[in-house]
């Protein structure tokens, strides 16, 4: 039999990328998860979707989860006759918490797990490369796949990542309105001053040190000059909250492309703006994992 008998389920964490100065390179898995179940059927493609995006995402071959699965099946040279997918979504969409990366990672992990002997044919490094190709950059897919705190880069054409275990309290402030990543990225200038690039290089290095052993340095380590200010016009309320937290001495950043604000602290929920959702989390040591 080419495919395993019965359904396969994967749990994938939300992620936060950039973390202030680590633009397109630093990422972190969070204790907030989507869960997806896939089962090979005799024909067709069907979905059951509940939770975030249930009334908005497509239920056909254009769904990002399915597109990721199809790419992995191509890599494995195995194609099922049909699929039934059940998505239990809790990660907010369009909020800078890695919902797209979670869908991509869930898709490639599920496809490999559905193929009998798939893990022997496609290792994690290859799966990471495929997920990065689908996402366009590795900063979210790395922590979604491997968990923890990740430093990612592209060496030639191949994405690479280094995973570190960190222990940190995290609070996310999620606004009611989404901001498309394409819009946020479109606000960035093609060139930045050399001084700003140098500043961020130092702060990114300091952030690694702060998260792995010097938490008292987090307020300085989370400073950024490359992207957050440029994106403020697309998310003025997020930027206002970010500034408020930082003035009060709370290390805070825009999560990914925003508009969620992430603070490295617990007990700050009283700063939550009206209509926003606040959630206390931790760094998830586990990335995408099959559920028995």
Q: What is the C-alpha end-to-end distance of the chain, expressed in Å?
A: 21
- CA-wise closest residue to 80 among 48, 116, 124, 130: 116
Predicted pLDDT of residue 183: 87
pLDDT of residue 52: 93
Output the pLDDT for position 213: 95
Instruction: Look at the alpha carbons of 30, 24, 172, 198 in this order and tell me if their dihedral is positive or negative.
Output: positive
The label of the residue with tokens 């199809």 reads 70
Provide block-wise average pLDDT over 10 residues at a time, the chain (292 residues).
91 98 97 98 96 92 97 96 97 96 98 96 96 96 98 92 96 94 89 96 98 97 96 95 98 96 97 97 98 92
- Which pLDDT score is estimated for 182? 86
Q: What's the farthest any 2 CA atoms get from each other in the chain?
A: 61
Task: Tell me what pLDDT residue 112 has.
Answer: 98
For residue 239, the model assigns a pLDDT of: 96
Please report the pLDDT score of residue 156 as a whole number: 85
> Which pLDDT belongs to residue 1?
60
Residue 92 to residue 199: CA distance in whole angstroms:
32
ω into 255 cis (within 30 of 0)? no
């Amino acid at each position: 039999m080419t495919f395993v008998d019965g359904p396969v389920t994967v749990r994938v964490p939300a992620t936060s990328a950039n973390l202030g100065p680590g633009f397109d390179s630093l990422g972190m898995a969070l204790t907030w998860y989507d869960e997806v179940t896939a089962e090979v059927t005799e024909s067709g493609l069907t979905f059951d979707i509940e939770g975030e995006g249930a009334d908005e995402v497509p239920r056909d071959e254009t769904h990002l989860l399915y597109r990721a699965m199809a790419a992995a099946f191509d890599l494995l040279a195995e194609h099922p006759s049909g699929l039934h997918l059940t998505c239990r979504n809790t990660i907010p969409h369009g909020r800078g918490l890695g919902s797209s990366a979670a869908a991509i990672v869930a898709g490639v992990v599920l496809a490999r797990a559905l193929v009998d002997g798939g893990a022997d044919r496609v290792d994690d490094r290859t799966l990471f490369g495929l997920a990065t190709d689908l996402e366009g950059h590795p900063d979210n897919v790395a922590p979604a796949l491997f968990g923890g705190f990740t430093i990612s880069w592209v060496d030639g054409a191949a994405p690479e990542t280094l995973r570190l275990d960190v222990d940190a309290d995290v609070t996310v402030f999620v606004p009611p309105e989404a901001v498309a990543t394409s819009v946020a990225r479109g606000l960035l200038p093609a060139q930045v001053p050399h001084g700003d690039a140098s500043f961020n290089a130092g702060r990114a290095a300091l952030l690694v040190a702060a998260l792995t052993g010097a938490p008292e340095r987090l307020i300085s380590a989370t400073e950024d000059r490359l992207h957050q200010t440029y994106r403020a016009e697309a998310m003025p309320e997020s930027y206002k909250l970010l500034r408020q937290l930082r003035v009060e001495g709370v290390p805070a950043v825009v999560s990914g492309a925003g508009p969620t604000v992430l603070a490295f602290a617990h007990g700050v929920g009283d700063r939550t703006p009206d209509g926003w959702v606040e959630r206390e989390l931790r760094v998830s040591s586990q990335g995408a994992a099959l559920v028995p």
